[in-house]
Amino acid sequence: MCRRKPSGHIMQATTEKIEAISASFLLRKVFYGVVALGFLSLCLALAGFFLGHIISLGGHTEDRSAQQIVIGNDVLEIPANMIRFDRQRRDGIAERVDLYLHWPEMQGYAVEFKNDFNGAGPDKKLIFLTFEARQGSQDMPGRYGPVYLPLTEGPGAAGPAGLTLQRFRGDSGFINEELLVAPDHGAKPSFVARCLDEPSSRDNLASCQSDIFVGGDLQLTYRFPREMLEDWPLLDKKIAEFARGHIKSVE
């Protein structure tokens, strides 16, 4: 007579088999999870390797290829690393182009100037420029006599590097601003800048502004730190030279 194997042994064997399968399935899930995490880590590492430098630029570029920008009848040739905004770093017709330059080199973004371009350097070293079509009949030196002078309080006082400092009247609309004028201030002095007063300028990267007419029909507006007024003759010269050097043709 054959003896039937006790059902308890069958259940125990079945349970052990199920547990073995479950353990194997769990190990596979863990294994695949580890592989997936490893693959993700590799992808992130590769992305960091290839994109990290680009991300660290924070919108700047080291590309020095020349962009030919046409504003009206004037053609500008500007290295891409001098142009502030990515959308403007292309050839073609534009209404304006915004630049930033490192002082005193008058150069665009480079890794050695990274802290200054990010506003983290110990000194203020940036000049901001905008080329656009002329906005009126006179640039800032030409507006001095007919527009600004009547809004100031008297003859003024001695300013930095021989400049005359003239304060605006309270009802002029120029709040916390002063006018800095070259020593030869006649009807059209050689240099005029509007600046925030000294307390307002301390935390401002570019608290002074001036504009000049250049090219055939362009206005160049430039903003700079008040501290650069100490070198205003050099600043005035370099701005004019920069404009002449980058306007390639006037049709």
Which residue, 66, 105, 109, 67, is CA-closest to 84?
Answer: 109
Q: Distance between CA atoms of 113 and 80, rounded to whole angstroms? A: 16
Residues with Cβ within 8 Å of 143's Cβ and at least 6 positions away in sequence, in order, are 136, 192
pLDDT tens-place string over residues 36-90: 544 444 443 333 333 333 334 569 999 999 999 999 999 999 999 999 999 999 9
| String of DSSP letters for 2-17 | PPPPPHHHHHHHHHHH
Taking residue 133's Cβ as centre, other Cβ atoms within 10 Å add up to 13
Range with lowest mean pLDDT among 14-18, 101-105, 244-248: 14-18
Give the torsion sign (CA, 223, 229, 232, 238).
negative
Asked whether the predicted pLDDT for residue 135 surpasses 80, the reply is yes
pLDDT of 186: 77
Q: Distance between CA atoms of 52 and 60, rounded to whole angstroms? A: 13
Q: Distance between CA atoms of 155 and 95, rounded to whole angstroms? A: 38
Question: Taking the domains of the chain in order of start, what are their residue ranges?
Answer: 1-56, 66-250
Q: Distance between CA atoms of 165 and 66, rounded to whole angstroms? A: 39
- Provide the 3-class DSSP secondary structure of residue 85: coil
Q: Are 104 and 232 in contact (CB under 8 A)?
A: no
Q: Are 189 and 156 in contact (CB under 8 A)?
A: no
20 vs 43: which has the higher pLDDT: 20
Average pLDDT, stretch 187-207?
A: 94
Q: Are 221 and 209 in contact (CB under 8 A)?
A: yes
23 vs 189: which has the higher pLDDT: 189
Asked whether the predicted pLDDT for residue 194 surpasses 90, the reply is yes
Which residue, 241, 194, 249, 182, is CA-closest to 216?
Answer: 249
**What is the model's pTM?**
0.77
Mean predicted lDDT score pLDDT of the chain: 84
Which residue, 97, 161, 100, is CA-closest to 127?
Answer: 100
Chain mean position to CA 179:
26
Q: What is the DSSP letter of 111?
A: G
Q: Which residue pairs from 49-55 have beta carbons closer than 8 angstroms and sit at least 24 positions apart in sequence?
A: none
Q: Distance between CA atoms of 80 and 88, rounded to whole angstroms? A: 9
pLDDT tens-place string over residues 203-234: 999 999 999 999 999 999 999 999 999 999 99
- Computed over its alpha carbons, how large is the radius of gyration of the chain? 33
Average pLDDT, stretch 147-151?
A: 95
pLDDT of 17: 53
pLDDT of 28: 56
